[in-house]
Amino acid sequence: MLSVEEHLKGLNSEQKIAALHKDGPLLIIAGAGAGKTKTITHRIVNLIKNGVAPEKILAVTFTNKAAKEMRERIITEIEKNAKGQERVPFVSTFHSLGVYIIKENARLLGLTKYFTILDEGDATGFIKDILKELGVDPKQYDPKKIKSVISREKGKFTHLTDFTEREGNGSNPFSKIVAQVWNLYEKQKMKENSLDFDDLLLKATKLLKDNVEIRKMYQEKWEYVHIDEYQDTNEVQYLMSKMLAEKNKNICVVGDADQNIYSWRGANLKNILNFEKDYPNAKIILLEENYRSTQNILEAANVVIKKNKYRPDKNLFTKNETGEKIGLYEALNEVDEADFVATKILEIRDGSSPDSFFAGSLSPRVRGALPLGSSACETPLKEKSGELPSDPDKIEPVLLSEICILYRANFQSRALEEAMLRYNIPYQVLGVKFFERKEIKDTLAYLRAALNRDSLSDIKRIINFPARGIGKVTLVKIFANEIESLPPKVRIKINSFYETLEEIKEKIHSTKTSDVIKFVVKKSGIEAELSSGTEEDIERLENIKELATLALKYDNLDAGRGIEKLLEDASLASDQDSLIVNEEKLKEKKEINAVKLMTVHASKGLEFKYVFITGLEDGLFPHQRRSEDVNIDTEEERRLFYVAVTRARSKLFLSFADYRTIFGSRQINAPSEFISDIPADLLEKEGEKGGIKTIYI
């Protein structure tokens, strides 16, 4: 076992103080790239070295990717510093923690252990059906908007009865509709033994609040509580954290007010700003040394964020090199901007000037939401007549996966994707989830329906896929328990379907996870259906096979528990978790070498060697939003830009367009105020030679 000095050798002075702190509340304000995960990891390992049982430690973060990274780091450090220790702390996301607490107390909530977790699409589908039942036109009252209101209220720890009393009898017709829909929505979920994402937090927290014995049990179970990204907690997450730490007060929260960018989904900046009021004896530690970015990138980030008022003062610094200046490109329009990004990526990848190439003759490649092959990366670009490429020995190749294009709004990706296709650059759009593909949802629906026969939405989804000749009228009679009134041939088909579910259930409890997936695909008829179909069907079958490959990591769990965990992880997958699926590919040495495209919100927690921030125009970024409190909106947009800037390690590019077509209307734009905030000596103009701007066609 390493000594304390050796164990903390890689930490700076502030990180060491945080790692050595043991009892009492601790607030770690960690700037972007300041090594917060490393600090939390060493703190947890140090607690174990000082006699705290690993199972007494809880660490909670927001994404599965972050939880996975933290868990792996902790296990690695435990193996190095506490040999022979097989037990590990409980590391999870907030939603996974909610699932854990609910499953342990399912009966108290009127649920079974195998309750279904509805994704956003399923939940919105419920609401759409309810609107139709009420005779309300879903086009007049958008189901997504209603779901958003319900979600926001649940995030505030508002219950249906509270909302109904407050809004149900008011004069606002929309609020009345929401109250009616919410009531029927809750009843339908109970009928189907299902919960939505917000329930996972709301019901777990309400259980802790209302039941003293259960609250004490979890307070004793986890004596040391760690909360990552504390600035992103909403009211429910705040209450859950506070109640779990109420008895021992050993709560360590890590966060950065400058990275609070989720107020639109309930994140409350006051939670981190008021930590000292909640815990008067709290120790405060500031992590300001950045290990990610160059000095120029950090200086730009610091200058921009200092304009915000609602923040504790801090100033990121680094011992990294000064680095290149920040590239700035003024585009004619969104097509010109996208062409600049594409040609610059080629320049970065090939280590030579884009003027040496033209890409007009390259065949476009159709993008898939999942990994693209590497063949396109190796396609040589034709040289212009009379020009030779740079010396190959001097070219330092750059992986396309080290390059990221960020944008403020999803619609911006269209022009960028078209440019990637024109220039034959492999790319991935983060936000297209593996688990949201139809074929994957169909396969998982068989598993959920086998475990939870009350999940009518899953049964409705798969009872006629593959086709069994069971129509809507038949389905209505099935759900109304009128099967006996159906013709004998139809009853045989229905019985065969339920027998299939029963066989799947038996396999779930007797076979390893990956083999269950293979069994489902064969037994259900999905394999036969897709293998004899179109090329698109064949691709869908390949994706299901990928699901079986992904399921291998659950094979070490007991039969039954593996599928249960797979379903849980699939339901709770976030946008960033599409990267986790890709990481599984890496284990098979199928490297995903593609440029990443994503919104700035989706980039939180990620980092890349090269980053392009596009669409820096007034009204787009910062985005125009209606709000009673303009100051807070403006500050959040500034925080969002700060997050975007600090994703870059080596080189940052900024771009804006003089004209942009939005919703069919061509608009003249002024450059974003964020550009003028950055000192001129940190910027260099791109795409201009001898005063003439070059537009690549």
Q: What amino acid positions are annotated as catalytic residues?
A: 36-37, 228-229, 259, 647
Backbone Cα Rg of the chain:
27
Classify 91 as helix, strand or coil. strand
CA distance 469 to 475: 11
Q: Are the beta carbons of 328 and 675 closer than 8 angstroms?
A: yes
Nearest to 508 by CA among 441, 446, 570, 453: 446
**How many of the other CB atoms lie within 10 Å of CB of 141?**
18
234: left (phi over 0), alpha (psi -120 to 50) or beta: beta
Q: Is 592 exposed, middle or buried (0-12, 13-18, 19+ CB in 10 A)?
A: buried
**C-alpha dihedral (91, 92, 96, 97), degrees to nearest 10:** 50
**Cβ density class 58-80: b for 16+ within 10 Å, e for less:** bbbbbbbbbbbbbbebbbebbee
The count of other CB atoms within 10 Å of the CB of residue 105 is 17
CA distance 537 to 109: 41
Place of tokens 């669409």: 615
8-state DSSP, 584: H
Give the residues across from 610 on adjacent strands.
Answer: 403, 651
557-562 CB contacts, 8 Å cutoff, 24+ apart: 557/513, 559/508, 559/509, 559/510, 559/511, 559/512, 560/508, 560/509, 562/512, 562/513, 562/516
Report d(CA 642, CA 600) in Å as an integer. Answer: 10
Tokens for 681, please give them: 């000596």
DSSP state, 170? S
The DSSP string of 116-127 is EEE-HHHHHHHH
Please name which of 365, 358, 350, 475 lies closest in space to residue 417, comparing C-alpha atoms. 365
In the chain, the N- to C-terminal Cα span, in Å, equals 62
Bridge partner residues of 653 (DSSP): 327, 612
Size of the chain in residues: 697
Is 88 in contact with 75 (CB distance < 8 Å)? yes
The SS3 of residue 114 is coil
> 195 near 118, Cβ under 8 Å?
yes
Six-digit token string for 351: 């280590």
Task: Please choose, from the candidates 636, 647, 561, 655, the residue with its C-alpha nearest in 3D space to the C-alpha of residue 606.
Answer: 647
Phi-psi region of 413 (alpha: psi -120 to 50; beta: other; left: phi over 0): alpha
Q: Beta-carbon neighbour count of residue 347 at 10 Å? A: 16
Q: Are 600 and 406 spatial neighbours (Cβ–Cβ below 8 Å)?
A: yes
Query: Edge-to-edge strands of the sheet including 57-61?
Result: 90-93, 57-61, 224-227, 251-255, 26-30, 283-287
